[in-house]
Chains A and B, each alone.
Chain A
């Protein structure tokens, strides 16, 4: 049972435009969400997170939006740069539990 879903396996975006990566979850107990970025031959690296008490968190070019009623979150990257080409994983956890449940990932390609 995939509790965290990323329905788009891949996404291509022109350099300078906005990249929007989507993630849906089914477990209403999840209350903390994270995005990770992964380059080939490297481990995932933490990008940005959001608590369920917020609906938006911003860090430079990266913004995460959370819609609790829809059980949906999205990562916006503006403007997109070639170095953003990577696989992006969303992850979720619930209070009192250190375990992260990951989605299947979306491969983002930025076209110069």
Chain B
């Protein structure tokens, strides 16, 4: 089944403790992206990647890092999480925008 898989689905952590949210797609898509969803703000792009070793900032990149060492994986790294990063995170991939994005099921992160 073609899909984008995120892990974990739920995570509660403490301020300052480094964490990684993994994202993997099995569709051989070149384009991958991370979004966060917050009430009243919709989906905002954090980082995106056009291909292996090619990444760039989205609208809200502060406090996040990404890497794209292989085509299928695009992990999101929070080096020192803060409470304002409490949010619902979505990873997405695409083979071309005419086809739309395929989204993962989301990761609900709470930073206390």
A4 to B43, CA, bound (A): 11
Residues of B within 8 A of A102 (CB): 35, 42-44
**Contact residues, A15-43 vs B (CB, 8 A):** 32, 34, 36, 41-43
Q: For chain B, what secondary structure do more than half of its interface residues adopt (helix, strand, loop), or is it mixed? A: strand
Number of interface residues of B (CB under 8 A): 26
The chain A residue sitting closest to B102, CB to CB, is A46
Cβ-defined contact, A42 with B42, below 8 A:
no
- Total A-B pairs in contact (CB under 8 Å)? 59
Residues of A within 8 A of B100 (CB): 34, 36, 46, 49
A91 to B50, CA, bound (A): 19
Residues of A within 8 A of B103 (CB): 36, 43-45
A91 to B43, CA, bound (A): 9
Return the contact of A41 from the options B31, B94, B106 (Cβ within 8 A). Answer: B106
Q: Tell me, yes or no, whether A100 is within 8 Å of chain B by CB.
A: yes
